[in-house]
Structure 1
Amino acid sequence: MIDRRRKRVKTNPIPDHVPPGLVRDFSLFTSPGMAPTPNGDPHAAVACVHDGPPIFYSPCNTRDGRGTWVVTRAKDQRRVLQDTETFSSHRSIFASALGEHWPVIPLELDPPAHGVFRALLDPLFSSRRVMALEPAIRVKAGALIDGIARERTSCDVMKDFALPFTVSVFLSFLGLSQRRFEVLAGWVSDLLHGTADERTAAARSIVAFIDEVAAKRRKAPAVDFMTFVVEAEIEGRFLTEEEVRGIGVLFLVGGLDTVATAIGFDMAYLARNPTDQELLRNEPDRLALAAEELLRAFSTVQMIRVATKDIEFEGVPIREGDYVSCATMIANRDPSEFNCPHTIDLARRGNHHTAFGYGPHLCLGAHLARREIVIGLREWLARIPAFRIKEGTAPITHGGHVFGIKNLILTWA
């Protein structure tokens, strides 16, 4: 442990303003339980941070090896995420992988520009619009599950259901063909979880795809998301090509992986907890409340902010340019915020989790994601009998900026 710590500190120098007592050997990428692990539990692994200081410095807590301040308390994370003047979202993470500098929109914009684009896009993801989409989402889920149930008594739930389901909903929303779902899902997987070369190649492919779709919609408009974007105006002008690209990239990446992953972690939990599985099967009206608890317990996203000035935050010396990590999987296991945070209570109420973020950058697609999760679970439980993880197999879980699960083989009688 000591040798690994020394090597990491040498590779990632600790800034002079960081007190030595606030340096902790922790990473959402490399700490125990975060690397791809059979039957791993990365959410339980992050619980260790609540035994230490409420804010500490990790020398290596991003994919590119940068150090971050790690904010552990939910209330402190909310302060960071609400204060966009002090903690900026602008990093151009996706574009920088290509040697470019355009933002993913509106995620990487700060006010006032963020508000302009948010006002443009919010109506597309309103609760009313999502309700209108619900019957079609239910049909997609049912058709996929019926196909599985007719042919087998076992499946890889991520490959056979969670990803095809969420990708099909997303592609329909964009007005795109379903034929390319495997290619698109592969690009997003490589981007979020692949090697450096795989991430760069995936980023180039995603940009080319978004640009291609935008060009087609400019020539041949349709009633879909991309047509709306290329025809949209802000402040009396059309969007630039980079702005269209930035919006398209965000919704492609955000719409394909995170919802499928949430369904995967939920399925894994229910497979291991037959009592809760049976409860939801017999009382499906409980699913909306249960889904909120599962979102809390199995949150998947780390949000990074950049300090815009020198400040003292809860007694910690944060300096301009420092990265600040607000990991949802940490905040949502905060014992000062949630009673028995590591206990999954499907009847938990007053569940003010931050699985979809907080403040101005609260996830645009939260309404849609929630409905996809609830509908996916409801239709699965209605069509598939009592299921469990297949003997001799083990789901692989991993940490990172976005937690993940794969090789989740379920079987049923």
Structure 2
Amino acid sequence: MASHRVPEHVPPEMVKDFSLFTSPGMERTPNGDPHAAVACVHDGPPIFYSPCNTRDGRGTWVITRAEDQRRLLQDTETFSSHRSLFASALGENWPLIPLELDPPAHGAFRSLLNPLLSPKRVIELEPAIRDRAIALISKISASSTSCDVMKDFAFPFAVSIFLRLLGISDERLDTFVGWGKHLLHGDGVKRTAAARTILAFIDELAATRRIKPADDFMTFVVQANVDGRPLRDEEIRGMGVLLFVAGLDTVATAIGFDLAHLARNPKEQELLRSEPDRIVLAAEELLRAYSTVQMIRVATKDISFEGAPIRKGDYISCATMIANRDPAEFERPNTIDLARKDNRHTAFASGPHRCLGSHLARREIVIGLEEWLSRIPEFRIKEGTAPITFGGHVFGMENLILDWS
């Protein structure tokens, strides 16, 4: 452990050698279970300091209890969201909007965007989402008795829905997925190159939509007003990049973890297949058990939080995959119970920054599972193959080869 990374104000007894990037089970592992590996933090203190818990090697305080995470995420005055996570890869400083804005500015942009991803809007999108799932699965089942489910279904399905929202065709889908992988999981060089490419693409799309409007998100953004004025270029960029990046990874990864779980648990697979009405409830439990995102906040002032001497500028981690395995919050948290009720998981975070796209993500996951289970016979992980999992700012999975021969 690199002790020079520990600030002087952090008591040595509060330092724990843990990282969502490098701890056992977090690095690329065949047949890994990073969620179980993370759950072990609940055997220790409710808050501790990790000397290296961001992509760029910075230390963070780690909040382990779900109740404490919710309290912290509600307190936007003390714990700011502004980190310029994407812009920092370019050596710049501008926010993803509304994700990295604090109130009151956050509220104005959130209100602007809420109707685009509301439950009503998601109901309108549902036929197109289902058609996309059916088309992909039908193509798979007609040509083979096995597939790489991430490449052949999860990514093409989830990413194409977001591209449609942005007003982009599927022709370059593989290219966009590649950009996302480099941005979220690549090294520094790949991450910077991907950020530049995505930014240029969003700027170009915005310029096109100013001249040639269409019925899509980017047209809405370039024509929108907030606080009685048109959006600035930087604001359009911050909103466009956020939607693009948010659609590239998280829903596809959730579907991958869900199908891997069902492949390893044939009785649960058969139950959902024979009683599809259970899928909605099951999807919530799978979201809890296989949450994928770490939220980071920045302290705006010195504060003692649950006995931790947090200082202005300190980073604080609220990792969904930790909160959702909290034994104080969930009975038998490491048991995956597809009939679990009153499931207060925080897979989509909590507080004012609760995921704007949560309604859409939920429907995509449920529809993806419904159509897969109704069209693909009993499936398992193909003999001789092993899915690869990894931790990080966003957990991931690849090489999930399913077989139903």
TM-score (norm 2): 0.99
What amino acid does structure 2 have at the position aligned with 1:231?
A: Q
Is 1:233 aligned to residue 225 of structure 2?
Answer: yes
Q: Which residue of 2 aligns with 1:9?
A: 3
Counterparts of 1:119 and 1:286 in 2: how far apart (Å)? 33
Counterparts of 1:220 and 1:254 in 2: how far apart (Å)? 25
Check whether the contact 2:293–2:395 (CA below 8 A) recurs between aligned residues. Answer: yes
Q: Which residue of 2 aligns with 1:251?
A: 243
Cα distance, 1:171 vs. partner? 1.1
Counterparts of 2:73 and 2:239 in 1: how far apart (Å)? 21
Is 1:72 aligned to residue 53 of structure 2?
Answer: no
Q: Which residue of 2 aligns with 1:161?
A: 153
Counterparts of 2:227 and 2:290 in 1: how far apart (Å)? 40
Figure out how many residues of one structure are paired with residues of the other and give that number.
405
Is 1:86 aligned to residue 82 of structure 2?
Answer: no
Counterparts of 2:162 and 2:84 in 1: how far apart (Å)? 24
What amino acid does structure 2 have at the position aligned with 1:59?
A: P
Cα distance, 1:9 vs. partner? 2.1
Counterparts of 1:375 and 1:60 in 2: how far apart (Å)? 38
Partner SS state of residue 126, structure 2: helix
Cα distance, 1:145 vs. partner? 0.2
Check whether the contact 2:63–2:317 (CA below 8 A) recurs between aligned residues. Answer: yes
Cα distance, 1:316 vs. partner? 1.2
Deviations 1:380-413 (A, max 9, x none): 0000000000000000000000000000000002
Counterparts of 1:96 and 1:169 in 2: how far apart (Å)? 27
Cα distance, 1:93 vs. partner? 1.4
Cα distance, 1:19 vs. partner? 0.9
Cα distance, 1:315 vs. partner? 1.3
What amino acid does structure 2 have at the position aligned with 1:100?
A: E
What amino acid does structure 2 have at the position aligned with 1:360?
A: P
Q: Which residue of 2 aligns with 1:315?
A: 307
Partner SS state of residue 90, structure 2: coil
Q: Which residue of 2 aligns with 1:201?
A: 193
Partner SS state of residue 101, structure 1: coil
Counterparts of 1:375 and 1:177 in 2: how far apart (Å)? 21
Deviating 4+ runs (over 3 angstroms): none
Counterparts of 1:123 and 1:209 in 2: how far apart (Å)? 25
Check whether the contact 2:81–2:100 (CA below 8 A) recurs between aligned residues. Answer: yes
Q: Which residue of 2 aligns with 1:289?
A: 281
Q: How does 1:94-133 map to 2 (within 5 A)?
A: 94-133=86-125
Partner SS state of residue 354, structure 1: coil
Partner SS state of residue 296, structure 2: strand
Is 1:190 aligned to residue 192 of structure 2?
Answer: no
What amino acid does structure 2 have at the position aligned with 1:267?
A: L
Counterparts of 2:85 and 2:247 in 1: how far apart (Å)? 18
Partner SS state of residue 203, structure 2: helix
Is 1:25 aligned to residue 25 of structure 2?
Answer: no
Partner SS state of residue 352, structure 2: helix
Match of 1:397 among 381, 384, 389: 389
- The percent of aligned pairs where both chains have the same amino acid is 74
Cα distance, 1:83 vs. partner? 0.3
Q: CA RMSD in A?
A: 0.6
Match of 2:171 among 179, 183, 195: 179
Query: Unpaired segments of 5 or more residues in structure 2?
Result: none
What amino acid does structure 2 have at the position aligned with 1:317?
A: P
Counterparts of 1:196 and 1:15 in 2: how far apart (Å)? 24
Is 1:43 aligned to residue 39 of structure 2?
Answer: no
Check whether the contact 2:180–2:194 (CA below 8 A) recurs between aligned residues. Answer: yes
Counterparts of 1:189 and 1:401 in 2: how far apart (Å)? 12
Check whether the contact 2:160–2:170 (CA below 8 A) recurs between aligned residues. Answer: yes
Cα distance, 1:102 vs. partner? 1.1
Counterparts of 2:93 and 2:19 in 1: how far apart (Å)? 27
What amino acid does structure 1 have at the position aligned with 2:301?
A: K
Partner SS state of residue 97, structure 1: helix
Cα distance, 1:161 vs. partner? 0.2
Q: Which residue of 2 aligns with 1:411?
A: 403
Counterparts of 1:136 and 1:263 in 2: how far apart (Å)? 18
TM-score (norm 1): 0.97
Query: Unpaired segments of 5 or more residues in structure 1?
Result: none
What amino acid does structure 1 have at the position aligned with 2:13?
A: G
Cα distance, 1:256 vs. partner? 1.6
Counterparts of 1:176 and 1:31 in 2: how far apart (Å)? 38
Cα distance, 1:177 vs. partner? 1.1
Cα distance, 1:60 vs. partner? 0.3
What amino acid does structure 1 have at the position aligned with 2:331?
A: N
Deviations 1:104-150 (A, max 9, x none): 00000000000010000001110010011101100000000000000
Q: Which residue of 1 aligns with 2:47?
A: 55
Counterparts of 1:383 and 1:58 in 2: how far apart (Å)? 45
Check whether the contact 2:25–2:390 (CA below 8 A) recurs between aligned residues. Answer: yes
What amino acid does structure 1 have at the position aligned with 2:95?
A: P
